[in-house]
Amino acid sequence: MEHVQINEVSLRDGLQMHQEFIPTEAKLRLLDSLLRAGVRHFEVTSFVSPKAVPQMADAAELCAVLPSVEGAHYSVLVPNLKGLERATGAGCRTVNLVLSATETMNQKNIRMSLGQTRSVCADTIRHAHELGLGADAYIAVAFECPYEGAVDPGHIVDLADEMFEAGAGRVIIADTIGAANPAQVKRLFSMLLPRFDVGRFACHFHDTRALALANVWESLEAGVRRFDSSVGGLGGCPFSPGASGNLATEDLLQFLHSCGFETGVAVDGIVGAIDVASEITGRDLGGRIMPWLRAQRARSESEIHA
């Protein structure tokens, strides 16, 4: 069976909007539950301003105590050279940069022009390489911007080219507001793949319009084998109030396994991680598959005790 890599983003993207600060110890509990389920790739935090994102205020403290588990790979988000300096000081070995595809998104989100953001991302990636670090680049709102609407796929090709030229090891195509459809995904990759190796791409889908798994399938058809997801669907989208947000890890796993791919991650273990995530956030979490998974677990337990 072909392997698909799951990159768990609940600790960063999933928690960043949570109102009450989640203590470092609680984040480590969630991380431990995910490791026990077999997850080995994580985006664990971001080195942004604590005033802007209070939930990430313990970034250095968390990175200092990340468990050393065979095969575990941790990455962190950095916005610029200052963030890179902080991440390096905390011992991080892989950093992620975020480049929003439109002018307005950059102005609204980080108060910089698209041109400025492109320059900052490229400079930070180059500097990371000089330090011997790995650096990947997200291209956010790659399909649709909440302010400017549909994004020209040719523009995404240009941005990907620029990030690869700067030295990005991987470019993550991000459907930030969950507006993409499979036809758009197919079109974008039909333009990207003649120029770049598909192994250098990953995808980050949101399930706002219930199309995330359909978009995953189109990406798989194109040859993509790495996807971001968040346990329990933890997280949301600040630009789509009430949106369901991140693709739930359990939905992605069940989908991949049923389609004949292997991930090394146990769905049953992820159910346990969802329980931990629900406890530490005080929220009822779970993807679309959860009622079925709970029913299956209850049925198995009743058969054991019969």
CB of 261 closer than 8 Å to CB of 268:
no
- Give the separation between CA 56 and CA 76, rounded to whole angstroms: 11
Residue 177 tokens read as: 């507001």
Query: At residue 297, what is the residue type?
Result: R
121 is catalytic: no
CB of 100 closer than 8 Å to CB of 114:
yes
- Give the separation between CA 86 and CA 217, rounded to whole angstroms: 37
CB of 134 closer than 8 Å to CB of 128:
yes
- Give the separation between CA 127 and CA 125, rounded to whole angstroms: 5
User: Between β-strands 149-150 and 171-175, what pairing exists: parallel, antiparallel or unpaired?
Assistant: unpaired
Residue 159 tokens read as: 């941005």
Of the residues 63, 92, 145, 237, only one is catalytic, namely 237
17: nearest Cα among 37, 38, 46, 60 = 46
CB of 232 closer than 8 Å to CB of 244:
no
Sign of the CA dihedral running 235, 240, 244, 249: negative
Residue numbers annotated as active site: 237
